[in-house]
Amino acid sequence: MVVNLRLRKEDKDIEVELEKLKDNKERSEFTREALRFYLKNKDAITSLDKNIMEINNTLNEIKDSGIKAVNIEENAKNKQNNDVGKWGENVGDLFNF
């Protein structure tokens, strides 16, 4: 079976990748492997795409609700730095006593 592949004008990214291959044999092998990969993994790819869309929708709903995102690591770091500063003040007070 012979299958031809025609690229559209908007397929410049595909064209660039195919031009990197040395000859038609390499291009054919690349195309076969890409199709095998897709056929083998299409359900997982579709599922991942769906999950990503659901996560984005949830994030947009949270954003639209007015809930503010908080960086827990940054808050913990700031608290730790503030605690260290307080210790320094307290130790200084002891020496001034």
* Residues 44-55 pLDDT 10s: 999 999 999 999
pLDDT single digits (tens) 51-80: 999 999 999 998 888 877 667 777 666 666
CA-based torsion, 74, 77, 79, 85: positive or negative: negative
Segments making up each domain of the chain, as ranges: 1-66, 70-97
Amino acid, single-letter form, for residue 95: F
| Alpha helix segments (H runs only) across the chain | 12-19, 24-65, 72-96
Tokens at residue 16, please? 């660039």
Q: For the whole model, what pTM was predicted?
A: 0.50
Alpha-carbon Rg of the chain, whole angstroms? Answer: 28
Residue 42 has pLDDT above 90, yes or no: yes
Residues, the chain: 97
- Pairwise CA distance, residues 63 & 31, whole Å: 41
DSSP string across 42-53? HHHHHHHHHHHH
